[in-house]
Structure 1
Amino acid sequence: MQRQRRIKKSNRKFWIGLILFLLIVLFSVFIVFHQAEKPMVTAKSEALQIAQKYAGIKNVNGFYNSNLGKTYYSVSGNDKRGKAIYVVIAKKGGKVTIIDQKSGLTADQIKQSIENTKKPKKINGIAITLKKSKPYWVVSYVNKSGKLCFATTDFKTGKIKKLIANI
């Protein structure tokens, strides 16, 4: 009888130890992911504040980031008058560029264009960016071969200006 009690106690200690170990591992994974996301969360928060301060953006309906030599954070939404705009902010220097959404194509229109012309397996992301002070859409996608590709398209026409394929 005493032997059975010892076995039950050691089984209980084993399960308690295992549960504690798993809790510690899960907590550690949560902390790692939280820390990994922190820079982007901070950048988004700062971009929203800048867009509100300099462009008077009220209703935000999108956040983008792009890095083609220079890093840009962009916010889409409506200003005080209800006008749909994009606010593009340079990470270095903080230059703010305001673009009227009606002067070019939307992200959905560009996605549709890429799907029709390139037939990607998956579109990873899309972002508005600036090159020589001119707006462009950058689309990241995976092609049929499973290779990463980037298409830089003209903001106004949707025409592909630069294509980096099969990375």
Structure 2
Amino acid sequence: MIQFKDDIRIRQRHRQARIHWAHFWFIVVGILIILAAFILGYFYVSLAPMRQAENRVEKLVREKTSIATVTQVSVNYRKTTTYAVLGQTTTGTQKVAIVRNNKIKTYNRSSGMTDSQLKKLITNKFKPKKLYSANISEYQGVLVWEISYKGQDNKLNYLTLDFKSGKTYRAISGM
């Protein structure tokens, strides 16, 4: 009987530790989930001031203009922070509100080029490889389109076009 216990002890000492791959992958996936949660939390917290500013501007526009439903808010940081708020009135009229230093100017969206007209103009005249953004803003007191796109040379380009006619005010090529 003593011999039997010794044999068991000998076999237990020589038994190799086996890696359970399921446990290994469970730990790796758990670490990746925790890392992703930290990254997403960081971005959520870091973008909070921007969300708060946009909410403040939306509220200001709904209080001080006839815009009842906001569909888009864009921001431009050229000289001062300028917000462009696109929305509809209760009657369904499309409007644009330009907000700078809590001062608001409103324009009829229908007085400018439509999105499809703008895209056609840019495609025919500038032949972009990829169109990144097209936002409404104000430049030297005039309502404009701010366009960014990738040119045929794979470089970043910026355009400032008149809101109504599409006339080029400013073009920055090859950044």
More moved, 26-35 vs 144-153: 26-35
SS of the residue corresponding to residue 25 of structure 1 reads helix
C-alpha change, 1:7 and 1:144, in structure 2 (3 Å) is: same
| Alignment match of 1:145 (pick from 147, 153, 161) | 153
Shift of 1:24: 1.6
What amino acid sits opposite 1:53 in the alignment? E
> Take 1:33 and 1:67, find their aligned partners in 2: how far apart are those partners?
21
> Take 1:156 and 1:146, find their aligned partners in 2: how far apart are those partners?
29
Shift of 1:13: 5.4
Map of 1:109 onto structure 2: 117
C-alpha change, 1:38 and 1:118, in structure 2 (3 Å) is: same
Whether the aligned pair in 2 keeps the contact of 1:148 and 1:166 (CA below 8 Å) is yes
Q: How do 1:35-74 and structure 2 match up within 5 A?
A: 35-74=45-84
> Take 1:41 and 1:124, find their aligned partners in 2: how far apart are those partners?
21
What amino acid sits opposite 1:34 in the alignment? Y
What amino acid sits opposite 1:7 in the alignment? R
Map of 1:98 onto structure 2: 106
| Alignment match of 1:160 (pick from 148, 165, 168) | 168
Structure with bigger gyration radius:
2
What amino acid sits opposite 1:150 in the alignment? Y
> Take 2:40 and 2:72, find their aligned partners in 1: how far apart are those partners?
26
Is structure 2 residue 93 aligned with structure 1 residue 83? yes
Structure 1 stretches (4+) deviating beyond 3 angstroms?
A: 11-17
Whether the aligned pair in 2 keeps the contact of 1:105 and 1:158 (CA below 8 Å) is yes
Shift of 1:32: 2.6
> Take 1:8 and 1:82, find their aligned partners in 2: how far apart are those partners?
66
> Take 1:34 and 1:101, find their aligned partners in 2: how far apart are those partners?
32
SS of the residue corresponding to residue 91 of structure 2 reads coil
> Take 1:150 and 1:16, find their aligned partners in 2: how far apart are those partners?
47
The gaps in structure 2 that reach 5 residues or longer are: 1-10
Whether the aligned pair in 2 keeps the contact of 1:138 and 1:151 (CA below 8 Å) is yes
Give the total of aligned pairs: 163
In the superposition, the TM-score normalised over structure 2's length comes to 0.80
RMSD: 2.2
| Alignment match of 1:7 (pick from 2, 8, 18) | 18
Deviations 1:39-76 (A, max 9, x none): 33223322221221111312333222223323211111
> Take 1:150 and 1:61, find their aligned partners in 2: how far apart are those partners?
24
In the superposition, the TM-score normalised over structure 1's length comes to 0.84
Shift of 1:16: 4.3
The gaps in structure 1 that reach 5 residues or longer are: none
Deviations 1:92-129 (A, max 9, x none): x2211101112222344222211110000111111111
